[in-house]
Structure 1
């Protein structure tokens, strides 16, 4: 993995929030993924690289959720009060917050503008789910011209099969794949 410049690289973490990290996840449990993400985020902050924390949330009665007809719609119904809150201890002063209303973190959020104004041309991406929020964000970032690095040890899904399929057959077409421990940030 090439060395990344903290001046032009941001860590983007997808949906590390109470309602999602509590789900049964594979190949890594939500609690362990969050601890890894906290450690990597601390490394990025120490190097002066931005950390972007993305959560998903919806208005009352899912008024702002996508409504297109699909064959397997997402479940809708009452959510716990803390469902959309980031996990405890993840957010630190100076982190960027983005709330999305769909799988990907770019559409309708201002994320692209925030990254471009900071001179960011590369994102390191992790979160939940590998095959939904992470994949959607990676594809869109690539289409926008960002270099993308996926940290698979910071990703999980509802099954190992979906996680691995996405890494092996989709994400390697729009990103470089590198465990977070191999990422080197210039001093």
Structure 2
């Protein structure tokens, strides 16, 4: 049974991961990049109007750590990504007062000022979504959890490289770390 959820916008931040040109156009599941962006904009517009902090995280694709691994996330002979690939898509509706965090790895906390930005604003709860579920979103969630932030995961404003990986996190991991809700349920929970 789902617990009732109430969010104080003054102590809540929306943190959306990697809604940028080089990522949202990829083949994703269960939600398309366009659908995730549209829901992120709906959340951001509503939460901003109620006084919540809005944070957009982007990965600098040409500076992303590429570790030796059994499965590579990047072809070794691929040319550098165009600069636009690391820029947020206009559909997010990002505003001048929103926080933009640039990262060089999967998670949004390590090597960035994200924690400082949140703590200075008195943020206790992070509403989290973006792309991809098992990479940037999960990595950010684990760090946020370890640092004592409350978490709300927005299932329909998050998508993965495949539906099975996405579903695993939303069914088997995220419910242990916080609350799993839909975009509308998050909007309804704003006090």
TM-score by length of 1: 0.92
Deviations along 1:66-120, whole A, 9 cap, x unmatched?
A: 3543222320532133111101142112100000111110001010011001000
Deviations along 1:46-81, whole A, 9 cap, x unmatched?
A: 00100000000045xx4xx33543222320532133
Unaligned runs of 5+ in 2: none
Displacement after TM superposition at 1:27 (Å): 0.7
CA distance in 2, matches of 1:11, 1:30: 18
Query: What's the counterpart of residue 152 of structure 1?
Result: 155
CA contact 1:150–1:178 (8 Å) conserved in 2:
yes
TM-score by length of 2: 0.90
Displacement after TM superposition at 1:167 (Å): 1.2
Structure 1 pair 68–79 and aligned structure 2 pair: CA distance change class (3 A): closer
Does the alignment pair 1:50 with 2:53? yes
CA contact 1:138–1:175 (8 Å) conserved in 2:
no
CA distance in 1, matches of 2:131, 2:150: 20
Query: What's the counterpart of residue 90 of structure 2?
Result: 88
CA distance in 2, matches of 1:26, 1:80: 25
- 3-state DSSP class of the match of 2:83? coil
Corresponding residue pairs, total: 182
CA distance in 2, matches of 1:125, 1:152: 9
Task: Determine which structure has the larger helix proportion and give its number.
Answer: 2
Query: What's the counterpart of residue 70 of structure 2?
Result: 71
CA contact 2:61–2:81 (8 Å) conserved in 1:
no
CA distance in 1, matches of 2:177, 2:69: 25
The RMSD of aligned alpha carbons is 1.3
